[in-house]
Amino acid sequence: MQKVTVQSPANIAFIKYWGQTKHNLFIPRNDNISMTLSGCITTTTVERSPDITKDTIEVRTKNGTYELLSQNSTKGKKAYEQIERIRKMAGSTDHVAVKSENSFPSDAGIASSASGFSALTGALLISFGKKDMFDNKKEFSKEVRLCGSASAARSVYGGFVELHGGNSHDEAFAEQLANEHYWNLVDIIATVDDDKKKTSSSAGHAAADSSPYYQSPVQVIQPRIDRTIQAIQDKNIKLLGPCIEEDTISMHMVMMTSVPPAYYWQPGTLAVMQDVMHLRNDEHIEVYFSIDAGANVHVICEKKDAAIIENALKQNKLVQSIIYNEPCEGTKQINTHLF
Ligand code: DP6
């Protein structure tokens, strides 16, 4: 009997990953850039033993009990396949019992796949004797990518991280741009909808090419990627903010014009975007929005402005909850187990 526990954060993409070059290897079409989120952490314990007869993954619910993750759910399928893949790579026949919990409400509509899959992959690699792979973050990030939620690969490092696109497994790895102490940037997540998203990211990546607005990503996106890296290096929110918003809007334009289309926004999404624009234009606060494949809004600002922005967002009747995040360290092993 051997237990391994790993903790990992979610991340918010400043430059989004949407669309793939190789669907079977989950290789992003373009390089994408994110920041880790201190308020959205998953902890996962894996127990491996020849006495366990069947793989199980249980996820902690809000009332504290554990619920079995079904193999038939999108997430469950990816997670059980990741176990199978790593077991095979390690040449083992052992099964595992997995338990997992999130530091943030799992019913708030916040994507937990990045934190969940990076934590699971890390704990599995160590459990199956591949600690060298876990410690080599470049290799580790590629293993995480293969779980099918490629954005999770950005969670292996702390702070500000780039996941490369490309055409082969070896090209598509993550690397750190700056660590979690480099810049006091904050992501205040304003949740406005707790529904499960109706179009999965996998379906969205597959449909992206059908949008007329998804034609020349390299020419359009590369200058934005360069500006984003420069902005992080210079800690320049005035340069970063417009890149974040432009990238969010172009991704949602592709989503809404794909066949079939995906509309993620809700009335609360627009209401928070308007709050952000009001704070920026009328109150002269450097604050910007980012929206993933869901309705909730990530409000990005510097720490010195966070309290006033958080208060303003709390006045918005369509905001259900707030999750405050600073950049934090990436995936790490810890010594306390969940069971
Ligand atoms: C919109 O295929 O990694 O969040 O499995 O839903 O996490 P999930 O998605 P994945 O695509 C991420 C899509 C995105 C943008 C991003 O994080 O880069």
The pTM of this model reads 0.96
Per-residue model confidence as pLDDT tens digits over 83-104: 999 999 999 999 999 999 999 8
Q: What residue's CA is closest to ligand 1, atom 6?
A: 201
Residue 292 CA, ligand 1 centroid: distance in Å: 7
pLDDT band at 112 (very low <50, low <70, confident <90, very high): confident
Tell me how far apart the alpha carbons of residues 282 and 205 are, in angstroms, rounded to a whole number. Answer: 37
What pLDDT is recorded for position 62?
A: 84
**Chain segment 189-211, per-residue pLDDT in tens:** 999 988 777 888 999 999 999 99
Q: How many helices (H) and strands (E) does the chain have?
A: 9, 14
The string of pLDDT tens digits covering residues 238-277 is: 999 999 999 999 999 999 999 999 999 999 999 999 999 9
Cα–Cα distance between 33 and 248 in angstroms, integer?
12
Q: How far apart are CA 334 and CA 44, in angstroms?
A: 10
- Which residues does a 6 A CB cutoff place in the pocket of ligand 1? 13, 16-18, 32, 111, 113-114, 149-151, 201, 292-293
List of residues 6+ apart from 293 with CB closer than 8 A = 111, 197, 199, 200, 201, 204, 255, 262, 264
Q: How far is the CA of 309 from the centre of ligand 1 (A)?
A: 26
Ligand 1 nearest-atom number relative to CA 202? 2
What is d(CA 177, CA 105) in angstroms, rounded to the nearest whole number?
A: 29
Contacts of 281 (CB under 8 A, 6+ apart): none
**Which residues, in sequence order, are CB contacts of 178 under 8 Å at separation 6+?**
159, 160, 232, 233
Closest atom of ligand 1 to CA, residue 75: 5
pLDDT at 82: 98
Residue where the block lists tokens 């996820």 = 59
Residue 153: pLDDT band (50, 70, 90) is very high
